[in-house]
């Protein structure tokens, strides 16, 4: 009687491992790219919400907020934000958002002067991918 071996040969196992490795090499970069794009979109959405909240804060208090925390802890009468900022939002990249004053002449980040008053707030977030501050407009996937 012939004895027939059971199982797979070493060559068959190596071929399967090689094919699985090739699939992983193709799939992982696309996965990480999709994760990065979703974080950027989340950051853009939160920047839009914070920007809307700064406008509401100014409409209620007639002064621009200096920090995101100030908007979350405001005790101004009839303070309403839609949607509410119950907690201080964090960028999906794990860093806080920063409010930077926008002046009448378009300068961002400089202190206001009597001839160049503050007319708004720009919301910035740190982009770990290229190591710079980004606004909602700059933060594109």
In tens, the pLDDT along 108-123 reads: 777 777 777 777 777 7
Considering only residues 134 and 72, tell me which one the structure prediction assigns the higher pLDDT.
72
pLDDT at position 79 is 43
Instruction: Give the per-residue pLDDT at 28.
Output: 93
Nearest-5° Cα angle at 19, 16 to 24:
125
In a domain, 42, yes or no: yes
- Tell whether 3 is covered by a domain: no
Residue 42's pLDDT is what?
A: 85
Q: At 7, phi and psi to the nearest 5?
A: 100, -170
The 10 Å Cβ neighbour count of residue 113 is 12
Classify the C-alpha dihedral 92-126-57-119 as positive or negative: negative
- Six-digit token string for 46: 């939160």
The whole-angstrom separation of Cα 14 and Cα 123 is 53
Is residue 19 domain-resident? yes
Between 108 and 67, the more confident residue is 67
67-93 as b/e, with b when 16 or more CB fall inside 10 Å? Answer: ebebbbebeeeeeebeeebeeebebbe
* Residues 6+ away with beta carbon under 8 Å from 96: 68, 88, 90
Does residue 5 lie within any of the structural domains? no
Name the pLDDT band for 47 (thresholds 50, 70, 90): confident
Domain that holds residue 56: 10-134
Compute the distance between CA of residue 32 and CA of residue 25 in angstroms, rounded to an integer.
12
How much of the chain exceeds pLDDT 90, in percent? Answer: 16
Residue % of the chain over a pLDDT of 70: 77
pLDDT at residue 72, as a whole number: 72
The total number of structural domains that make up the chain: 1
Confidence of residue 97 (pLDDT cuts 50, 70, 90): confident
Domain membership of residue 4 (yes or no) is no
Is 29 within the bounds of a domain? Answer: yes
pTM score of the predicted model: 0.65
| Helical segments of the chain, H only | 10-61, 68-72
pLDDT at 71 exceeding the cut of 80: no
Query: What rounded mean pLDDT belongs to the chain?
Result: 76
């Amino acid at each position: 009687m012939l004895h027939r071996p059971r199982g797979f040969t070493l060559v068959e196992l190596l071929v399967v491992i090689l094919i699985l490795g090739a699939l992983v090499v193709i799939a992982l970069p696309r996965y990480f790219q999709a994760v990065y794009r979703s974080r950027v979109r989340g950051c853009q959405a939160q920047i839009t919400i914070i920007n809307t909240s700064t406008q509401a804060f100014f409409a209620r208090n007639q002064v621009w907020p200096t920090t995101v925390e100030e908007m979350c802890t405001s005790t101004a009468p009839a303070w309403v934000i839609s949607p509410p900022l119950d907690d201080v939002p964090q960028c999906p990249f794990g860093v806080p958002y920063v409010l930077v004053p926008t002046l009448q002449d378009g300068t961002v980040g400089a202190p206001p002067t009597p001839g160049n008053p503050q007319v708004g707030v720009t919301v910035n977030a740190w982009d770990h991918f290229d190591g710079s501050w980004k606004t909602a407009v700059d933060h594109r996937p």
